Amino acid sequence: MMWAKYTPGEFWSNDPKQNSAAIAFLLYCAYAVLRNSIDEEQKRAKISAIYNIFSFPIMIVLIMVLPRMTDSLHPGNGGNPAFGRLDMDNRMRIVLYPAFIARSLVAIWIATLRYRIRLIENKRNSIN
């Protein structure tokens, strides 16, 4: 929202892509609540799978179809290429590209931590 305040001048501009992403996020939050609300593993898996069967096509429509049917402030719509020369101010690039690199490095760090934890668990299980 801070980025939106800087670019179009308001925190929430009622853009179709913003609205679709917000609804998709709420669908994912509902999935997380559903997964954590059922104790029995088989029942949780079955109900979550049914929820995914219905919510996945809805998310495809929300993210890929509906926003492209209307005009949008975001790049990649109506012949507006993403990351074009006119899309971003150089001050925004100074923040965006290091953020991409930082997120990638954090993701790699988390993946290596998970891998090392699994190695330790496997070693501990093989000793017992």
Which tens digits make up the pLDDT trace of 50-95?
999 999 999 888 888 887 777 777 666 655 555 556 566 777 788 8
DSSP secondary structure letter of residue 82: T
2-11, 28-37, 94-103: segment of lowest average pLDDT:
2-11
* Spatial distance between the Cα atoms of 36 and 38, rounded to a whole number of angstroms: 6
Work out the average pLDDT over 101-115: 97
* Spatial distance between the Cα atoms of 80 and 9, rounded to a whole number of angstroms: 20
**What is the predicted pLDDT for the residue at 70?**
76
For the chain, the average pLDDT equals: 84
| Burial status of residue 62 (CB atoms within 10 A of its CB: 0-12, 13-18, 19 or more) | buried
